[in-house]
A and B are shown apart, each in its own frame.
Chain A
């Protein structure tokens, strides 16, 4: 697939590509895959990767591949989130065909401000997946533990609210055995309340036991009980990794 071809490949595009190619939080992405996805020669990819590595966004080893650092992950999640929110907006609100939204979003994502990003999220009622390929939209970086807090408290203005300093990962993207601390649950009240009732309150330590194949449920251990959570809910449960 050609990604954002009619513009110069920015560092953000590289980070976004590495993010989407890595299967889980430690996923190593090789240079050939990046060059294919971005439609750029391997040589220029290598050059850019070295630059990103120098700036501390990725860990890069020539014959092994690249992984995102915390700093890189933050940047990658941000731009991916903007991209996928824009896709949702273009598709669900402006009714632009799913074949075109990707291109459009690619051009808009770099100029969308953080404030517009959060307004978009609220306008779209906190969407969880993007319309064209069903991929999970990363969580926002506001310090809320659910969307209702955001709706109520954002009025203070973004500067007042502050930012979350840790990166959040959805439990569906975690490797088996990873520990995490419940930090944010996205979505409507009913699902949130059900998860709270089952013990997934903010700050709770969980462990991912197993992710079923074919986009199946995620089995987690929480408060010494084991729960299976379907993909469509799991993609809304975000943790801070605490391994």
Chain B
């Protein structure tokens, strides 16, 4: 066993730095003590902030076995203990409606973590305790972390920590995770829990319900089912009519199921209510009574955030805010992106003095320089300058609570394409790069919604497409034409979304979204979020850029591209009215869209594209380039998230759309201009 090294944010001057000192002192006597802690809680309570504070860079992000749910795991060295920390997905309940819920409850019940750190939002205590009670039903060894106590205090909420702890029978810790406060105490309590294993209180629901639960519990215990889950919890789940648990019990003992159905039916008849509503109501009643006796609420007037709230959801100003937010985000990206991109390309030109056109004499060198280096360079000049500023500002907008309001205002528009307000986030992300955008479709509840959102994203003008649009049309035809194409693109996203909504079977679910209050965004969280999103691009897109560019260079060198491109003659030249070499450009663009411009420059031997294209051809070329196929990186992401069949279908749909719209546009423009 290696000597444990403390790793809680050493630069942090907040109480967490105590962890460092204390653990450094006694890291010799307790080596090798292993614990596993799980972080559990609702979405948006600051769980991942705590996870990051605890594990720093020692994180492994993967999937839960056989599931498409993200699994985040990290290591913490604390006072001589090796602690594995699992960040469970943010959920509101342990029903079996989402993969996230199943993964979480199976983990807590079956893997028996040494402690479960339940992070709750102190200002929405009642709703959060609903989940805490369910953790207690599973006999989870619990530490309750009341996070964002600063915000709660701001809202006039004062919580009696000790009283709450006594009522629940679990240790309670105050925390402000963004400042690192309370995290040391939370881990300390969790370690204490893991070593001493104190017994927690058994919280009881109303009498007649408890009677049914214990009746069923006795039955389960008598049958000795060995399910791995606590018997009282199984009893509650059977009463609730949980299909997963019922299936599991039925395999071992059908008679228990039969009797549980009977007990449930009798009880329902008696109460004139369904068991699952009774149980949900009881959990909330208990949670409410706990909150009432341990929380004091003073009315505090917040003139600024209340005004902001009123303004950003107003029937007129709300739309103005929404458009200003989205428009401002895009403008900022183009402005900062362009400046940075020029700056970086100039720097790189300095390093790379070899003329990219001198390729015939030294094929290998050309493949390396123009392909590999070119791909790397493209990544640097595209992703870093455009995508990072975009995601950074987006993270601020998200963290402040403003994006929730925009989603609120845009919900009815999103419904027109079978989605709801929450889908706005992945679609806006798509304006940066499709890869993290498609990845973020996970926030949608159903596969159908994820698919519809991802499909819309494949048409969204990502930064590479924007470069093609402005580099071809904006520069040589006129900026108003470029803007017009941008609008046309929006219309196409909308139309295709609508068609897809009709084509994909299933019903649209609706929006249920928490309207978290406005708060001052944190730079640290924004940076972390930006990095998470950019990371997926760097890991996936950079290699594809590099390999793809080298491959294309190889094909180009051995003159394999021209025959393929000639085969496209009827489409490119006759139907779309483009020059013959457009076929090559479209092949190049499948790897990365901005290669279309670079390729055209290389083939024409000049940066003036008007040498090889007419204005109409430039417009058509840009239009087709925007739509015709998701780039290879996007296809890879689609394949990973939805399977290869779906990825292929989406690509075919894109190609058809591009051909139809491009052809119609060519005929129309030819006719009028």
A38 to B272, CA, bound (A): 42
Contacts of A227 in B (CB 8 A): 512-515
Which of B126, B272, B404, B412 is A216 in contact with, Cβ under 8 Å?
Answer: B412
Cβ of B280 within 8 Å of any chain A Cβ, yes or no, is yes
- Give 16 A-B pairs besides A224-B297, A232-B415 with Cβ atoms closer than 8 angstroms: A149-B272, A191-B510, A197-B92, A197-B130, A199-B127, A199-B130, A201-B280, A212-B408, A215-B415, A216-B409, A223-B124, A224-B126, A227-B512, A230-B420, A230-B421, A231-B415
B92 touching A212 by the CB < 8 A rule?
no
Which of B95, B412, B509 is A212 in contact with, Cβ under 8 Å?
Answer: B412
B411 touching A149 by the CB < 8 A rule?
no
**Chain B interface size, under 10 / 10 to 19 / 20 to 34 / 35 or more:** 35 or more
Contact with B along A218-233 (1 / 0, CB 8 A): 0100011111111111
A228 touching B318 by the CB < 8 A rule?
no
Cβ of A213 within 8 Å of any chain B Cβ, yes or no, is yes
Q: In the complex, which of the residues B268, B274, B318 has the most CB atoms of chain A within 10 Å of its own CB atom?
A: B274
Contact with B along A87-115 (1 / 0, CB 8 A): 00000000000000000000000000000
Which of B97, B127, B413, B515 is A190 in contact with, Cβ under 8 Å?
Answer: B97
A230 touching B411 by the CB < 8 A rule?
yes
A210 to B95, CA, bound (A): 29
Knowing A148-B274, A223-B288, A228-B408 are in contact, say whether A195-B512 is a contact too (CB < 8 A). yes
Knowing A197-B130, A224-B126 are in contact, say whether A214-B412 is a contact too (CB < 8 A). yes
Least CB distance from B358 to A in Å reads: 59
Cβ of A116 within 8 Å of any chain B Cβ, yes or no, is no
A153 to B508, CA, bound (A): 29
Which of A201, A212, A229 is B277 in contact with, Cβ under 8 Å?
Answer: A201
23 A-B pairs with CB atoms under 8 Å apart are A145-B277, A146-B274, A152-B274, A190-B97, A193-B97, A196-B276, A197-B130, A202-B273, A214-B412, A216-B409, A216-B411, A217-B408, A217-B411, A219-B408, A219-B515, A224-B125, A225-B127, A226-B514, A230-B415, A230-B421, A230-B511, A231-B412, A233-B510
Contacts of A177 in B (CB 8 A): none
Top-3 shortest CB links A-B: A230-B511, A230-B510, A233-B510
Q: In the complex, which of the residues A192, A198, A223 has the most CB atoms of chain B within 10 Å of its own CB atom?
A: A223
Cβ of B645 within 8 Å of any chain A Cβ, yes or no, is no
A30 to B104, CA, bound (A): 56
Contacts of B412 in A (CB 8 A): 212-217, 231
B515 touching A197 by the CB < 8 A rule?
no
B277 touching A196 by the CB < 8 A rule?
yes
Q: Can you name the residue of chain A whose Cβ is closest to the Cβ of B265? A: A152
A194 touching B97 by the CB < 8 A rule?
yes
Cβ of B222 within 8 Å of any chain A Cβ, yes or no, is no
Cβ of A119 within 8 Å of any chain B Cβ, yes or no, is no
A201 to B126, CA, bound (A): 13
Q: In the complex, which of the residues A152, A196, A202, A204 has the most CB atoms of chain B within 10 Å of its own CB atom?
A: A196
Contacts of B409 in A (CB 8 A): 212, 216
Knowing A216-B409, A219-B408, A224-B123 are in contact, say whether A145-B512 is a contact too (CB < 8 A). no
Cβ of B93 within 8 Å of any chain A Cβ, yes or no, is yes
Contacts of A201 in B (CB 8 A): 277, 280-281, 284
Contacts of A199 in B (CB 8 A): 126-127, 130, 284
Least CB distance from B420 to A in Å reads: 5
Cβ of A56 within 8 Å of any chain B Cβ, yes or no, is no
Cβ of B313 within 8 Å of any chain A Cβ, yes or no, is yes
B126 touching A223 by the CB < 8 A rule?
yes
B515 touching A228 by the CB < 8 A rule?
yes
- We find that the number of chain A residues with CB closer than 8 angstroms to chain B is 41
Cβ of B315 within 8 Å of any chain A Cβ, yes or no, is yes
A226 to B315, CA, bound (A): 19
Knowing A223-B288, A226-B514, A230-B421 are in contact, say whether A202-B277 is a contact too (CB < 8 A). yes
Which of B92, B93, B268, B313 is A152 in contact with, Cβ under 8 Å?
Answer: B268
Task: List CB contacts (< 8 Å) of B380-417 with chain A.
Answer: 404, 407-409, 411-413, 415
A199 to B286, CA, bound (A): 12
A204 touching B509 by the CB < 8 A rule?
no
Contacts of B125 in A (CB 8 A): 224
Contacts of B511 in A (CB 8 A): 217, 228-230, 233
B421 touching A228 by the CB < 8 A rule?
yes
Q: Can you name the residue of chain B whose Cβ is closest to the Cβ of A217? A: B411
Contacts of B514 in A (CB 8 A): 225-228
Contacts of A225 in B (CB 8 A): 124, 126-127, 514
A67 to B408, CA, bound (A): 32
Contact with A along B148-183 (1 / 0, CB 8 A): 000000000000000000000000000000000000
Least CB distance from B135 to A in Å reads: 14
A149 touching B415 by the CB < 8 A rule?
no
Contact with A along B310-332 (1 / 0, CB 8 A): 00010100100000000000000
A210 to B420, CA, bound (A): 18
A223 to B516, CA, bound (A): 13
A65 to B545, CA, bound (A): 70
Q: Can you name the residue of chain B whose Cβ is closest to the Cβ of A190? A: B97
Least CB distance from B400 to A in Å reads: 16
Q: Can you name the residue of chain B whose Cβ is closest to the Cβ of A233? A: B510
Task: List CB contacts (< 8 Å) of B105-163 with chain A.
Answer: 123-127, 130
Least CB distance from A228 to B in Å reads: 5
A231 to B411, CA, bound (A): 9
Contacts of B272 in A (CB 8 A): 143, 149, 153
Contact with A along B253-270 (1 / 0, CB 8 A): 000000000000000110
B318 touching A233 by the CB < 8 A rule?
no
Task: List CB contacts (< 8 Å) of A29-58 with chain B.
Answer: none
Which of A143, A146, A148, A197 is B95 in contact with, Cβ under 8 Å?
Answer: A197
A204 touching B284 by the CB < 8 A rule?
yes
Least CB distance from B119 to A in Å reads: 16
Which of B269, B288, B411, B415 is A228 in contact with, Cβ under 8 Å?
Answer: B411
A196 touching B280 by the CB < 8 A rule?
yes
B284 touching A223 by the CB < 8 A rule?
yes
Least CB distance from A154 to B in Å reads: 12
Contacts of B512 in A (CB 8 A): 194-195, 198, 227-230, 233
A76 to B315, CA, bound (A): 30
B127 touching A223 by the CB < 8 A rule?
yes
Q: Can you name the residue of chain A whose Cβ is closest to the Cβ of B134? A: A197
Q: In the complex, which of the residues A145, A198, A223, A228 has the most CB atoms of chain B within 10 Å of its own CB atom?
A: A228
B510 touching A229 by the CB < 8 A rule?
yes
Q: Can you name the residue of chain A whose Cβ is closest to the Cβ of B515? A: A226
Contacts of A190 in B (CB 8 A): 97
Contacts of A197 in B (CB 8 A): 92-93, 95, 130, 280
